[in-house]
Amino acid sequence: MSGTWSVSGLIGPSGGINGVTWSPTCVFQQAGDRLAGTCRGPAGVGPAAGAVSGAVVTFQWQYTPGGPIFSGVAGPDGVIRGSVTFDGRTGTFTAARAP
């Protein structure tokens, strides 16, 4: 997982609440099952920390307190797909290695 990743996340609008999108670039370092790094995007810049267990990857981006939590599975194509949770709402995300 170490390296630079382009993340794209979306929680659609519901119940009169606007949708939320994220498109940060995250630079991660993996040490054992721990993941740490920094994500930078239009929403802000902040640390990211999480865990890797086999193909399962989870991290939280702290550009704001209680920032979004991304949890997904790395597919055979190298793309991570899963869910993003923020402010009690859930949506989807993908992450691919940046060129």
pLDDT, tens only, 58-78? 999 999 989 999 999 999 999
So what CATH class is 3-97?
Answer: mainly beta
Neighbouring C-beta atoms of residue 64, cutoff 10 Å = 12
Q: Which of 98, 92, 91, 82 is nearest to 6 (CA)?
A: 98
Domain ranges, ordered by start, for the chain:
3-97
Res. 87: pLDDT tops 90: no
Pairing of strands 20-22, 25-31: unpaired
**Percent of the chain at pLDDT above 70?**
99
**Confidence (pLDDT) at 16:** 72
pLDDT at position 14, please? Answer: 74
The predicted structure's pLDDT at residue 13: 80
Q: Tens of pLDDT along 9-35?
A: 999 887 777 888 889 999 999 999 999
